[in-house]
Amino acid sequence: MAEPLTAVSSSPQAQPGPIKLAIVDRDSGFVRVLTKRAEEMGWRYRALSAPARPEDLVAMRVHALVVDLALLGEDAWEFLGRVAGELPGLGVIVCTGPSTVAQRVRGLRLGADDWITKPCHPQEVVARVEAVVRRRRRADAASGDAPRRAGELEIRPDQFQAFVGGQSLDLTRREFELLELLARSEGRVLEREDIYRHVWGYTMVRGDRSVDVFVRKLRQKIERFSPGWTYIHTHFGIGYRFEAVPPEPQDSAPPPRAPGELPPAA
């Protein structure tokens, strides 16, 4: 059997490594042949006979999803739209029975990257998965290297580090991934559970305060180099939002008067 899926870095700059694939299909013969081919290619996979929640796919850290919409019934379109909307970095390949042009167009518009009609050869599915993942990785590489600037901060994904005035904040790998996630979502509130899934790669256990602890450490390092600026904003009971807010200007006090000098006329 293939090696179980485990958490890995979510950074697009991480080594590509083997493709990690989730298969949602009840056709045991098709799944058996497809997973055998995946094993031969050194892929890691998870075969599911029921649809996984998007948050579970995040925890699996899969690159691509092969899904038979017939398995999903009336919820197929909702599932497809939700997965594609919540996991924009995931390659989605629909592999299902005969369909109409309208159905295929709808699926592609909802976020599917490719559509394959059964019966089909598993070798074709493998090739389509490779093509989708290759396109995704190229897009990530093209956008991931560009520095992001916010306030006095310069965030450099190519170095896994942030700088203020050329000085490194000396962030740990996890602190950087947390900062990059927040900055990519600038202006949007991210819930603690979502932050944990994306940075730690697992579903957050009730009562876990890891996100809060790392946000506090990250703030301390940023404030040391960029005092006065506010970057990470707390939304109590929900999560955090990133926005660079400069210090408020100080009211300028009038210059002191010399002894006996009269105040200026109104």
Please give the tally of structural domains in the chain: 2
Instruction: Give me the phi and psi of 34, to 5 degrees please.
Output: -65, -45
Of the candidates 153, 171, 172, 173, the one whose C-alpha atom is nearest the C-alpha of residue 163 is 153
Range of the domain at 94: 20-143
Q: What is the pLDDT of residue 258?
A: 64
User: Which CATH number belongs to the domain containing residue 111 in this structure?
Assistant: 3.40.50.2300
Note the helical H segments in the chain.
28-40, 54-60, 76-86, 101-110, 122-144, 173-184, 192-200, 210-225
How buried is 153 (Cβ within 10 angstroms: 0-12 exposed, 13-18 middle, 19+ buried)? buried
Task: Return the pLDDT at 4.
Answer: 41
Q: What is the pLDDT of residue 10?
A: 36
Say if CB 266 and CB 220 are below 8 A apart. no
- Residues 29 and 126 placed together within one structural domain of the fold: yes
Are 103 and 131 in a shared domain?
A: yes
Residue pointed to by tokens 């579903």: 203
How far is 150 from 216, CA to CA, in rounded Å? 19
Are 41 and 95 found together in one domain? yes
The predicted structure's pLDDT at residue 5: 46
Q: What CATH number did the domain enclosing 240 receive?
A: 1.10.10.10
Identify whether residues 136 and 167 lie together within a single domain: no
Distances (CA, A) of 73 to 27, 77, 153, 203, 257: 15, 9, 48, 27, 82
- CA angle centred on 216, ends 214 and 219, rounded to 5°: 110
pLDDT on residue 12: 35
Q: Which residues of the chain have pLDDT under 50?
A: 1-15
Q: Is position 30 within any domain?
A: yes
Residues 37 and 134 in one domain: yes
What pLDDT sits at residue 244? 93
Domain contains 78: yes
Could you tell me if residue 261 is inside a domain? Answer: no
Residue 66 has phi, psi (to 5 degrees) of -105, 120
Q: What tokens does 142 get?
A: 């093209």
What pLDDT shows up at residue 31? 93
How high is the pLDDT of residue 250?
67
Nearest-angstrom CA–CA distance, 3 and 6: 9
Query: 237 and 137 in one domain?
Result: no
Task: Out of 143, 170, 198, pick the residue that ends a domain.
Answer: 143
Query: In this structure, are 154 and 231 located in the same domain?
Result: yes
Strands 239-245 and 190-191: antiparallel
* pLDDT, tens only, 199-219: 876 667 778 888 999 999 999
Calculate the CA 162 to chain-centre distance. Answer: 19
Tell me if 264 is assigned to some domain.
no
